[in-house]
């Protein structure tokens, strides 16, 4: 890789799991507006639910999620009471006939929940929402939490997809990020969920961690490939200590520089490709027969707050502290602080504190940025058909950028803007060209590679 290109296009930019991005949410979009938007969902609409469990029994130094450590179960019990109340409240406000097609349990560590609480939470969802005949249920799993009773509970609630955080198996790296997890532990989880009929297993791997090397990434991926996961998510560690104070526990002197990060990511991507996995977007890999790979090949890949997905629901409802909802009208985020969230959710209240209502320009640019992140390009004809009032301005921006770019990372051809293969590692940087909010100075981001 040309060092000049790497230096030029690896600056700090959003991950674009939404547009507009979260730093541009504001308090003008509140509970009253959220209630109105929920009521406008109705017959014929499909719904995806995300439940956030913001607790872990250990805090990994690399983590950028909204979570907190607890060794006591009482705070979780109190939180679950509020979460069940919010589920009932939101379910009552959603218009009749809206069908839930997917449910995702995230965190934090959802597998910290006691088995009976997992089952109770799922019963609450089924009582409060209309479920489609087939609902895809996925759960983020921490191998350190799991036992036979929890596996049985996950089977009882209908888990179909399991997502395991691995990060790196090197003991030196694990100690530096406070994430001790052996290969044997991980294999036992994969074996246990498959024995209970789970059809899809995903493993998360990080590059750019302290003390990490290409050789270490190679060993970790070899171990992961021996488990034959259906999907692998290959994420660059996002060092954002100004936002997540526990990341200050990671010595910055131990972090690989941008050139080494890039070497690790390119090596890992090639190793996964050589093992028969298809690249999906900028950081996912899947077996050719997996639904994510099929969606990528057919142009139906989507991107939301959970990353790359096949979820085509009309709305995504986030439940729990800090959760973000995506509705046809805009984004809504719940109160991040768990104590205040519990107070707001009590007695039938909503917990929304900020968001953004989409303008027509937002919708158009969100479409373009999502296609860039999923397909590495967008066609002008469907853009004009969907957004006749603004498409020509945006197409003009695309043509101008392609003309001015002499680095070979993009071009305009056959009525389409395309990111070249050389430019694909910098897709986030290219997407930022079409982000009208990016230069406003709000929000700090992780580097692009």
**Arithmetic mean of pLDDT over the chain:** 95
Residue 448 in this model has a pLDDT that exceeds 90: no
- Report the distance separating Cα 196 and Cα 234, nearest Å: 26
pLDDT tens digit string along 99-122?
Answer: 999 999 999 999 999 999 999 999
Residue 440 in this model has a pLDDT that exceeds 80: no
Please check whether residue 421 is in contact with residue 5, taking contact to mean a CB–CB distance below 8 angstroms. Answer: no
CA dihedral 156, 157, 163, 164 (to 10 degrees): -50
The average pLDDT across 6-32 equals: 93
- Report the distance separating Cα 144 and Cα 146, nearest Å: 6
How many Cβ atoms from other residues are within 10 Å of residue 146's Cβ? 19
Please check whether residue 206 is in contact with residue 236, taking contact to mean a CB–CB distance below 8 angstroms. Answer: yes
Indicate if the alpha-carbon torsion angle 298, 303, 308, 314 is positive or negative.
negative
How many Cβ atoms from other residues are within 10 Å of residue 252's Cβ? 10
pLDDT tens digit string along 29-40?
Answer: 999 999 999 999
Residue 435 in this model has a pLDDT that exceeds 80: yes
N-term to C-term CA, the chain: 12
pLDDT at 66 (0 to 100): 86
How many Cβ atoms from other residues are within 10 Å of residue 414's Cβ? 7
Residue 5 in this model has a pLDDT that exceeds 90: no
pTM of the predicted model over 0.75: yes
pLDDT at 441 (0 to 100): 59
Beta bridge partners of 285: 232, 279
pLDDT at 443 (0 to 100): 60
Please check whether residue 289 is in contact with residue 20, taking contact to mean a CB–CB distance below 8 angstroms. Answer: no
pLDDT at 245 (0 to 100): 87
Any alpha helices (H) in 97-182, and if so which ranges?
Answer: 115-128, 148-157, 171-177
CA distances from 173 to 277, 340, 351 (A): 26, 35, 38
CA atoms within 13 A on the CB side of 85: 18
Please check whether residue 108 is in contact with residue 57, taking contact to mean a CB–CB distance below 8 angstroms. Answer: no
**pLDDT band, very low/low/confident/very high, at 306 (cuts 50, 70, 90):** confident
Distance of CA 198 to the CA centre of its chain: 21
Pick the CATH number of 20-357 from 3.30.1180.20, 3.80.30.20, 3.30.465.10, 3.50.50.60: 3.80.30.20
How many Cβ atoms from other residues are within 10 Å of residue 433's Cβ? 18
pLDDT at 113 (0 to 100): 97
- Report the distance separating Cα 328 and Cα 229, nearest Å: 34
pLDDT tens digit string along 336-379?
Answer: 999 999 999 998 899 999 999 999 999 999 999 999 999 999 99
**pLDDT band, very low/low/confident/very high, at 313 (cuts 50, 70, 90):** very high
Instruction: Write down the domain spans for the chain.
Output: 20-357, 360-436
Q: Tokens 């997809």 correspond to what residue?
A: 161
CA atoms within 13 A on the CB side of 311: 27
414: left (phi over 0), alpha (psi -120 to 50) or beta: left
Residue 97 in this model has a pLDDT that exceeds 80: yes
The average pLDDT across 129-140 equals: 96
Residue 262 in this model has a pLDDT that exceeds 90: yes
Residue 392 in this model has a pLDDT that exceeds 80: yes
pLDDT tens digit string along 195-247?
Answer: 999 999 999 999 999 999 999 999 999 999 999 999 999 999 998 888 888 88
Q: What is the CATH number of domain 360-436?
A: 1.10.10.920
Angle at the Cα of 3 from the Cα atoms of 237 and 168, rounded to 5 degrees: 25
CA atoms within 13 A on the CB side of 383: 26
What percent of the chain is predicted at pLDDT more than 90?
Answer: 87
Omega of the bond leading into 20 within 30 degrees of 0 (cis): yes
CA distances from 34 to 19, 51, 84, 99, 188 (A): 18, 17, 18, 19, 42
Q: Which two tokens stand for residue 156?
A: 């009882």
Indicate if the alpha-carbon torsion angle 191, 193, 197, 202 is positive or negative.
negative
- Report the distance separating Cα 180 and Cα 160, nearest Å: 26
**pLDDT band, very low/low/confident/very high, at 439 (cuts 50, 70, 90):** confident
369 φ, ψ (degrees, to nearest 5): -65, -40
Please enumerate in sequence order all residues whose Cβ is within 8 A of that of 245, keeping only pairs 6 or more positions apart, or say none. Answer: none
pLDDT at 442 (0 to 100): 59
């Amino acid at each position: 890789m040309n060092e000049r290109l790497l230096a030029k296009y690896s600056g700090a930019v959003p991950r674009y799991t939404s547009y507009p991005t979260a730093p541009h949410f504001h308090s003008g979009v509140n509970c009253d507006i959220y209630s109105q938007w929920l009521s406008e969902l109705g017959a014929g609409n499909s719904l995806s639910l995300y439940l956030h469990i913001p607790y872990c029994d250990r805090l990994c130094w690399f983590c950028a999620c909204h979570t907190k450590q607890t060794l006591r179960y009482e705070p979780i019990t109190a939180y679950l009471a509020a979460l069940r109340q919010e589920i009932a409240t939101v379910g009552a406000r959603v218009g009749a006939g809206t069908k839930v097609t997917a449910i995702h349990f995230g965190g934090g560590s959802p597998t910290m929940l006691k088995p009976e609480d997992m089952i109770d939470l799922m019963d609450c969802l089924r009582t409060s929402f209309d479920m489609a005949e087939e609902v895809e249920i996925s759960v983020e799993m921490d191998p350190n939490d799991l036992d036979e009773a929890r596996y049985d509970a996950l089977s009882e609630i209908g888990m179909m997809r399991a997502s395991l955080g691995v990060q790196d198996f090197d003991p030196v790296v694990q100690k530096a990020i406070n994430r001790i997890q052996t290969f044997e532990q991980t294999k036992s989880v994969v074996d246990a969920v498959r024995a209970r009929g789970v059809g899809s297993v995903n493993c998360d791997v990080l590059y750019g961690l302290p003390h990490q090397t290409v050789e270490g990434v190679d060993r970790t991926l070899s171990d992961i490939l021996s488990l034959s996961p259906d999907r692998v998510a290959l994420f660059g560690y996002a060092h954002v200590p100004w936002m997540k104070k526990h990341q200050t526990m990671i010595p910055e002197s131990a972090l690989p520089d941008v050139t080494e990060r890039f070497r690790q990511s390119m090596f890992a991507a090639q190793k996964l490709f050589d093992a028969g996995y298809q690249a999906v977007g900028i950081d996912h890999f899947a077996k050719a027969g997996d639904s994510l790979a099929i969606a990528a090949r057919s142009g139906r890949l989507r991107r939301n707050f959970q990353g790359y997905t096949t979820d085509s629901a009309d709305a995504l409802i986030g439940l729990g502290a800090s959760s973000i909802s995506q509705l046809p009208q805009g984004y809504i985020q719940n109160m991040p602080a768990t104590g205040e969230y519990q107070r707001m959710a009590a007695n039938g209240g909503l917990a929304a504190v900020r968001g953004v209502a989409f303008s027509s320009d937002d919708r158009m640019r969100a479409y373009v940025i999502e296609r860039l992140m999923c397909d590495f390009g967008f066609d002008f004809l469907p853009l004009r058909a969907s957004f006749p009032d603004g498409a020509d301005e945006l197409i003009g921006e695309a043509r101008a950028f392609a003309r001015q770019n002499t680095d070979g990372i993009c071009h305009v051809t056959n009525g389409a803007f395309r990111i070249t293969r050389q430019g694909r590692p910098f897709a986030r940087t290219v997407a930022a060209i079409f982000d009208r909010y990016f230069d406003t100075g709000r929000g700090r981001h992780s580097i692009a590679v």
